[in-house]
Structure formats: C-alpha cells, structure tokens
Structure 1
Amino acid sequence: MFRRLVGLLFFGLLVEGQLIRDLDWGELNFVHTTDTHGWLPGHLLEPQFSANWGDYISFTQHMRRRADEKGVDVVVVDTGDRHDGNGLSDATNPDGAISQQIFKQADLDIVTIGNHELYKDEIGEQELDVLASHYGERYLTSNVDIWDDESNEWKSIGGRYRVFTTKNQGYKVVAFGFLFDFNGYSPNTRVTLVEDAVEQDWFMEALEEADVDVFLIAGHIPVRHFPEFETIVNAIRKRHPSTPVQALGGHSHIRDYVVIDKWATALESGRFLETIGWASLTGIDRNGGPNEDLRFSRTYIDFNLDSLTHHTNTTRETFPTAEGEAVANAIAEYRDFLNLTEHLGCVPHSFYTNKAKYPSPHNIFSLLEKKILPMVESDVRDNSNPRYIMINTGGIRYDLMKGPFTKDTGFIVSPFPSKWMYIPSVPAETARQLLPLLNRRDRVIFNTQTLDFSDLGLPADRCDDDEEIHGFKFQNQQPLGVEEEDALQLTGGYVTHDDLGTTGDDTPHKPWPYYGVPNVVQASQNVEENVSEIDVVFNDFMKPFIIAVLEELGEDYDPIELYGGKSVIDLLPLYFTDDKCY
C-alpha cells in the first residue's frame, strides 16, 4: 500500500483523498472553455464544479505566469455558446446584458461564436457590439455574418482569421473561428457552410501565410461525428501537409479528444463551466520540416479550487488575483441584484437528465411526464379534452438538484421562454404515431432545410456511441486498482474515453451512470382506448418537426395555434412548494 501511494503522489497530489494528475506542459499550450451557457457563478450546489469566472480569470493569469517561468506559451480560447442556461445570463432583457460584460473581463486570445448567439436578432447584435468590439482581432467568425443596415450588406461579425506570434517561443500561429453547419439562425445573421467557406478567397489567403508553425481552429463544432473539422484540416493539408493543427471544439457538451491525422487533433471541453480543457504540443519543427517528433496531449480539468490551485502551484490564500477576485465579487453582487437567490420552494431529492434511468422516479423527464406537463392549462381550449402534451428533452438543460428551489433554479433547468402550441382534434390513429416518429435520429428535408431529429434531444445524446464517448459505462473502467480506489475514496464524476485513452481527466472518479433519453416525452391525459380525436400540444421549438412528421403521414396540420399556459420554468416552482420537503 505504501509503495502504491508513493507512486500516486509521484505524478499527482492527494487532496482530501482525491488524486489530481499533473498537467503535461508542452512548448505550446491551450486553455479552453466552451458552452459556458451563462454558468459564470459556477455550480453552487456541486462542489467539484464550484469555481466561478473570477477564479477562471485568476487561473489564466497564473498559467501565463507559469508559462513565462518555463519559457513556453499559453493561448487562452473560448468557443462559444454563452447564453441559455443560468439566471445570470437569462434573467435580463435581453439575455446576456450582464453576463457578457462579466465574460469579457477574461483576457482571451481567441474567441468565437456559438449557435446560441444566433437564435435571436438582438443577441447577434449584442455579440457584435459587446464581445466582437471588445476583443477586436481576437474575435473570429470565419463563416458567420450579420446584416449591416447602414451599408446594406452582410459583414463578418468578427475577423475571418488571425495571425499572431506567441510570446515566449515565438511560434507563428494562424487561427480560425468556425461554427458548424447551423441553419437555425435569426433573419439578421447567416452561416456559410464550412465546405464552401474553405473555398473562399480569404481562406486561400490565410493558407498563403509563410512560415506558419501551427494552425489553430477554434470551432463551435463537435470533435466527433461531425465532418466540419476534418473538412477544414483537409483544406489546410493541400497547402501545409504536415504543419501541426490544434482544433478546439464544442456544442455537444462532452469531454472528448480526437486524433484527426498524424499532425492534427481536436479537443472538446465539456459544458457549463464543469471543465477547463488543456491541450499541449511539443516537438514543433521550426524549420518547416515534417514534424516527425510532434507530440500532443490533453487534460480535462474539473472546475474547482482544488484542481485550480494544484495546477497553478498556489494555495487558496495565494490563488485569487486582484482581477479575479473583483469579478467574483461582481458576480455575487449581480446575483443579488437579479434576485436569483429568491426562495420559491424545495426539491426533496435530485432529478437527473442522464444519471438516472428513464423512466424512473429520479429521472427529470419522468417528472415532467407525470407531474409537470399535466399542469399546463390552456387559455383557449377545454383542458378536459383528450390531449398529448409533448416537450423535447433538449429544452431541459440541466439536472434539478436537491435543495432550495430558487429563481436561478428555473433558469438552470429550463431557460427557454417557450410557448405552448397545439393542433386541435388530430385523428387518434395519427396522434399515436407522432411520438415514435419524433424519437428517431435521422434527418429529413423540410422546406428546403435539413431537420435533424436528434436536435430535439440532449446535446450529449447526439453521438451514436454516447456512452463510450462519455466513458460512463461501468465495465472495463479500472484505471486504478481496488486498493488505490479505497485509499483515494474516489467520488462520482466524469471518466472520459477518448482517442488517447482514459487518463485525460485531471481527477480520477468512479464513473457516473449514463442513460440515454428520447428526443421527446409526452404526458397523456383523458386519452381512452376508443377516443377518436386528440389535441396535440407541444412547445414551439418542435413546430417544424411536428409539421414534417404530419406531412410524412399525409395528414393536415392546419391550424397550429397558441395554446397558452405557463412554461416549464413557471410550472416547476408551482409544483415544488416547500411542503414537498416535509
């Protein structure tokens, strides 16, 4: 036992019974966040993800200091989706009015955009006015434009690419900022398909840069199953066959790392400020050679002070910087200003999206089916009519944790102010076919657009082999021996399987269970076996999918009307009254 613990201490640190693996520092290193979705206050009810954006600012400052001491470089990157998921971002009008001001206090080298910045006209304009203007040449949108009323033409929200030289090693880096082939953007924005963007003159111009040491692709793109990163790398390879490429992705809310070719890899760094990604490159050939000695590595850092102080070689007393502490204090003040701690009720036990089997008493979608959706009351229709009430699971953003139900809780679980719509008196035979057809995973062409039915579900469920990607399967997960596990008292957490193996998580954990869920769940009310017609009620995000399925069935879908009733964010506190905990 003693020798085993000595070995563990050699490559990490025991903190309160937990091992923290050291980072692999390279000559060029990347610190990466993505899909923060407003979680700048951190996870106040989950200690392992409880650091905040002020702590992140302190972390990046310390990491740059450590890089200077080592004579290497750190590049700090964020790859989008900064709205929809937390009261700090979503309790203002417009969304992000406060959170974007807090976000931009971080000194970032490259920033790009996510699809959640493009759903509303005003949020696209906010992105241009607040972040793009603040970060200047560091803000990149290689394939995203916004309509400019003054010039009466489309213009890029940010730069198409950036060329910069690193501080210590002097590497010449060409950076891009791409979004996946997204087609759900608002009327004042547009997204160019990646395969078309890499044929444009500006991209060819970027590839003509001489003596490039590294290409950086900051992309709001899943690193696995989506083709866009490979498309960009293949385009680069036509001019630079062996130049290192580091891609940093997002969107699917998972930890993952993919080897694209011998000289190119892609890192994805989770969601909701649960994770800080770390990628490093060593052995970069400065003479334009074949980079035969190139080596990549990655780490997924749990976003808590134990991890952050360990990796910065600080203590809890020496870790906060003046800038970081000021931002942490501002977050607390704005939470008070927005009244996010207002007590609305009590949750007797946690309800999970993926950690509890569906259906089951601890699954949040079972809760919706059995208790919440039946509470929807129409303003225009008799609620006693036979009805199906549907909601897409992707509209639920996070677990509902045990404890007080506050104003913030509603935004965390269901931030979208969606409206209920309905089709009256659908033939029962047709209505009964809707749910299974909505729960498929294929794509269909509808009104010249491609509808991907998996977009109805949770982002992490969009991979065919989601359990393998998350590494949540229990079998074959023994990175440590039983005695070591007992000594370390491993807690539940992420155990990631990626192209480099299973040692990427900075903190070893016992794997959380992971269960897939359907795209859509429904409550059924007053639907007897012999009923002839059923009202079909659904949230407005589902409208094009409902229409596509009805057209496939050869059924009429007119009229589709507003149903009225409270949204999920308003129904939840009506159910979770204080007496639920007593």
Structure 2
Amino acid sequence: MLIQTLVLNLRIIHSSDTHGWLFGNPHDAEQNANFGDILSFISASKSQRTTIALDSGDFIQGCGLSDATKVQGEYVLEAWRQSFQHNEFFDYVTLGNHDEMIAESVKIMNENLLDENVHNHTISYNTFSNGGAVSARFKFATLDNVKYLITGFMYDMTPVQPLTIKSFMTEMSNDQLFSSLVKNADAFIILIHIGWNQHPEGYHFIYEQIRSMSPGPIIILGGHEHQAAYIYPVRINESFKNPFPETMSEGFDVNVIFAESANYFKELTIIDFDVQKINGVRKLINVNRTIIKSNKQLFLKEVQLNEFNNANANKIQAYIDEKVTELNILKQIGVAPQPYIFLNPNTADTNSIWNLWMKEIVPKTLQKLPDASKLKGEVVNIIGTSFFNNDILQGPIFVNDLYVTVPYTNEWFYDYPEIKGKDLKAIFCEMIGGCKAVKAPTGFPKYFLSENVNDLEAEKIYSVILTDYDNSRFEDKAKKLGISIKRDEGYYGNITPFAVYQQFVETYWKM
C-alpha cells in the first residue's frame, strides 16, 4: 500500500566566502545590499515560511574592513558575533581556510567561540583546538517534521596553532559517532569549505558515506573557490552501489543536491523544496534554486516589503558603518584604465590580471627596487593562481580595492638570483603537473610563469621572484627533482605584494 505525506516547503538561504564584505559593493549599485539588509531579508523570510540560513566559511581576509585593522578580521568577527546573538538571522556557519591561518585572528575567533551563542551557531566537525572541538560539531534541527543532521567540514590543511584539522574523509569513514548521527536523522544538510569545480570528489565522498547508510535527502553546500555551482539531480559514480535504489532515476540520485555560492556577498543562493514521505522514505520534490543579487530592492521584493525596519540588523550595520568610516577604506587613490580579469588564464592577453601583474606591476615596481641589482640573470616571476580572487574593475580604485586585489599584507617576496633555464623549466613543469612537449598547458594551471616555459633557454641564467606562499612548493619540487637551488638570504626588497600593488596604483594609475 502506497502511503504519501507531503511535508511543507523548506527554504535554504546560503552564502559563502564573504571575506568581510559587510558594507555593499562601492563599484556596483546593483550590489548595494549591506550586512544589515541581508540579515533583515533572512529575518523577513523566516517570518513568512520555514527558512534556514547557512554559510560555508571564509569570513575574513579579502577587503579593507577585514584587513586594514590591527588584527585581521577583528571588526568582521565582531559583527558576526553580534548577529549570532539573534536566532532570527544566520542559523549555522562553518569555518574556511582563511579563518584558520592567521594566529592573532584565530585567537579572537576562539575567544568569540566561548560565547555560547557564537559556539552554537558555528559548526565544524573536524576542526579542533587544544584537544577539543573548536565549536559545536553538529546539530539536529527539526523543520516541518523532518529531522535534519547539520554539520560542517573543513578540507585538509594545516591551520595555525592551537587549531588542528582532522581529515574529514577519515572522520566520516571511521568515526562511529558520525555513523550513529546519520542513522538518527531523516535528512542531511552538510556545509563544507571545498569547491565543486576543483574537487567534486569531496562532494561525492560525503554523499556516498551518507547514502551508504540512509536514503534520506542530502544537501551539500560548499564554498572556497568563489564560484556559484548547482547540481541537481546528481549522477552518481559508477563505482558506487547505492543500497537505496528508490532514490535513483536513470543513473541520477534525485534525493541529493550539490550547491556552492559566489563570494563577497555578491548574491545569495536560495534553494526551495518540499519533502514527500513515501512508504517511510522522505524524498525531495519541487526543487528550485534561485540566485538573488545582493540588491536591497530585490530582497524587499522577494519578501514583499516596502522597507526593512529590523532594529537588531540596523544596530549591527551601524557598527559596521562606523568602522568603515574609521578605516577610511572608501578613499579613492587611483583610476584603473580598463578591467583586468582574474579568470582569464591567457598571460599574453592584456585583459588578464595575470598579464598585468607579471608584465606591468612586477617589472615596473618590484624590479626597480635597489635590491634588484643583485639579480644575476633575466628576471622571471612565478605566481600561483590562488594569488588573485577578483577582477580589477575599470574606474575608481579605492583603498579597499588594494585589499581586494592583493590581500597579502603578511607575505613577502623571495628570490633565487641564479637558476639555469633547464632547471627552472623542470621545476615549473613539476609544479603544474607536467608540461606538454610543444606548448605550455592550456586551461587554468596552478601556477603561471611570466615567460612561456618552452621558451626558456637551457643554459641561460634566470633570476626567479615569487612570494613565500608559492615558495614552499617551488622548493619542494626542486628537492624532489634533485635540483640544487639557492635562495637569496633575507626577503627580496623587504616588501609585500600588497605594497607593490599600492605603489603601482599610486604611481601609474594616478587620479
């Protein structure tokens, strides 16, 4: 006998990789919503329908409000702390890599997590501090008679002390607690700081671990790579044998959603669905995903209001506005003559931000420093593709944009003043996973070289400049290949990438 029960609609509001963008976009009037507007929108949605609001991490590093402070993120973390005092706003968030890599910022974060409200709104299953979980590891939430297990995972990385991260794959595979949690839930909402486009295997691993024990709906919400993504239904790996065929349709699991949200609060992801209970198994139906640009008028229209008058949200935004004024991050310091695109991997294209850095900024600024005289050969620059995470827009350059474009105020440059071309080629090709015989790899490799790698002359002497973030991989690959390289003592020029970019803007892009 077929027994059906329709459970009322659930709305998920999701964001990720906000990186301190709590004051709207000064370059785009269509992205005028600030944190107060976003909080007000969430609260209004909750008053109208069953809603849960979630974020997949990276709250700091990436704008002036976060990085122009004495301790990176101190104002941003305080604004989020204030928001967690009110259950009408974000329900649960997890941590990102930028939240766990700066010692002084981690200290503030840990202190905030002592606040019971902050602790209970923050979920990280595999991040620990001083032997214990840094926050709540999981939560159960019953929404419209469906019991959801909600948890968050951080990808494997080495955070600063006292934090430690255990492999989420190991924890899910071997932890009996996780198994018991899965078996005690009807459905699953998983926050993970990992990108779908670069690491779909992480999503599939989480899905397979849960699906091997439960037929319930699975919603995995990610971040990290600053791109929106949405996969529904999900084609499963052929190697995975789903023990619950009732969730399948023509090779797709219709009871699982993968989604990822864009960065900097540019937009919010909204996922609406119903859960239908059929013979005891809950299934997703009427699944709909909407992207709403962070525009106050669009938010108001969505919740059918003329204005937001949320006193708690307004108070939090007043704090943010005060700090933005105090830091003077919206002061204009230059004018960009054209847009420069970070997702353009063609380093020969003058519209590419990588071309700008390697062909303009480094030669005109870094290589003009007095210390440049110690370089022995032709100068080449290596830069990792995680260096930039946003375009440079044509028009006004604000102080804030310095932190957006090159948010590395705590990095330095290294230089290797004397490397043979054949050795440099071997190391670089190893760094990017191999070079083609005829031409350099197409697509988006992990690292760029300022010259075509196959144009390097075998016996010619080159001088290599790169940041300390990329230096460790450079040295590791040289060691693996048995190539002896010698770094110049001390830091090259004693200058940061941030300072190099600032000097370039103020010198060459004057107002």
Q: Same fold by TM (over 0.5)?
A: yes
Aligned to 2:493, the other structure's residue is in SS state: coil
8 Å contact kept, 2:427–2:481: no
Question: 1:521: which partner in 2?
Answer: 448
The Cα shift of 1:384 comes to 5.6
* Contact 1:372 1:568 (8 Å CA) reproduced: no
Report SS of the residue matched to 1:569. Answer: helix
Distance 1:26 1:376, change over 3 A: farther
What does residue 449 of structure 1 align with? none
CA contact (8 A) 1:369 1:521 kept: no
Give the match for residue 115 of structure 1.
Answer: 97
> Per-residue deviation at 1:330?
2.7
Aligned residue runs from structure 1 range 21-170, under 5 A: 27-67=9-49, 73-106=50-83, 107-131=89-113, 133=115, 134-146=117-129, 148=130, 154-166=131-143, 169-170=144-145
Contact conserved, 2:336 with 2:396, CA < 8 A, in 1?
yes
Match of 2:474 in 1: 546
Go from structure 1 to structure 2 and tell me whether the alpha carbon gap of 1:429 and 1:229 turns closer, same or farther (over 3 Å shift): closer
C-alpha change, 1:554 and 1:215, in structure 2 (3 Å) is: same
Q: Residue 422 of structure 2 contacts residue 456 of structure 2 at CA under 8 Å; is this kept in 1? A: no
Q: Tell me if the contact between 1:220 and 1:249 (Cα under 8 Å) persists in the aligned partners.
A: yes
Report the residue type matching 1:175 in the other structure: I
Determine the C-alpha separation between the residues in 1 that align with 2:258 and 2:190. 9
- Structure 1 residues 132 and 243, CA, compared in 2 at 3 Å: closer, same or farther? farther
Give the whole-Å Cα distance in 1 for the aligned partners of 2:424 and 2:345: 28
Task: Name which of 389, 392, 397 aligns with 1:400.
Answer: 392
Contact 1:424 1:534 in 2 (8 A): yes
| 1:309 and 2:297 aligned | no
Which one of 566, 570, 575 corresponds to residue 495 of structure 2?
566
Aligned partner of residue 174 in structure 1, secondary structure: strand
Query: In the alignment, what sits opposite 1:416?
Result: 408
Amino acid at match of 2:10: L
Cα distance, 1:555–1:293 mapped onto 2, change above 3 Å = closer
Q: What percentage of aligned pairs have identical amino acids?
A: 21
Q: Which amino acid aligns with 2:166?
A: T
Give yes or no for the alignment of 1:350 onto 2:312.
no
1:296 aligns with 2:287: yes
Report if aligned partners of 2:221, 2:258 keep a CA contact under 8 Å in 1: yes
In structure 2, distance between residues paired with 1:203 and 1:530: 54
The one-letter amino acid of 1:226's match is P
CA distance in 1, matches of 2:108, 2:315: 24
Distance, in Å, in 1 between the alignment partners of 2:91 and 2:389 is 29
TM-score between both structures, scaled by the size of structure 1: 0.73
1:528 to 1:302, Cα distance in 2 relative to 1, 3 A: closer
- State the alpha-carbon separation in 1 of the partners of residues 69 and 219 from structure 2: 36
Contact kept, 8 Å, 2:414 with 2:487, in 1: the verdict is no
| CA distance 1:288–1:74, change in 2 (3 Å) | farther
Question: Contact conserved, 2:123 with 2:137, CA < 8 A, in 1?
Answer: yes
Q: What residue is the counterpart of 2:216 in the other structure?
A: 243
- Listed as ranges, the gaps of 5+ residues in structure 1 are 1-24, 68-72, 149-153, 443-463, 465-514
Q: Distance between the aligned counterparts of 2:357 and 2:82, measured in 1?
A: 38
- What do you get for the CA RMSD once the two structures are aligned? 2.9
Q: CA deviation at 1:360?
A: 2.2
Shift of the alpha carbon at 1:272?
Answer: 1.4
Residue pair 1:419, 1:567 contacting (<8 A) in 2 also: yes
Residue 53 of structure 2 contacts residue 92 of structure 2 at CA under 8 Å; is this kept in 1? yes
Q: Does residue 324 of the first structure (1) align with residue 324 of the second (2)?
A: no
Q: What's the TM-score, normalizing by structure 2?
A: 0.83
Residue 218 of structure 1: aligned partner: 191
C-alpha contact 1:344 1:573 (8 A) present in aligned 2: no
Deviations 1:271-310 (A, max 9, x none): 111121111221332x871235634221122111232122
For 1:362, the equivalent position in structure 2 comes to 351
- Deviation of 1:533 after TM superposition, in Å, equals 2.4
Give deviations 1:499-554, integer Å, cap 9, x for gaps: xxxxxxxxxxxxxxxx9554333447xx9969742222210011221013323443
Judging changes above 3 Å, is the alpha-carbon distance between structure 1 residues 243 and 90 closer, same or farther for their aligned structure 2 residues?
same
Q: Deviations over 1:432-469 (max 9, x none)?
A: 44444434489xxxxxxxxxxxxxxxxxxxxx9xxxxx
- Which residue identity does 2:259 align to in structure 1? L
Q: Distance in 2 between matches of 1:516 and 1:58?
A: 41
Q: Secondary structure at the match of 1:351?
A: coil
> Taking structure 1 as reference, are residues 118 and 309 closer, same or farther at Cα in structure 2, changes over 3 Å only?
same
Report the Cα distance in structure 2 between the residues aligned to 1:357 and 1:519, rounded to whole angstroms. Answer: 13
1:405 and 1:573 in contact (8 A); partners too: no
- Residue 252 of structure 1: aligned partner: 225
Aligned to 2:268: 276
Matched pairs, number = 465
Q: Partner letter of residue 144 of structure 1?
A: T
Q: Does 1:264 align with 2:256?
A: yes
| Equivalent residue runs for 1:175-186 within 5 Å | 175-180=150-155, 182-186=156-160
Q: In the alignment, does 2:132 pair up with 1:204?
A: no
| Post-superposition offset of 1:380 | 5.0
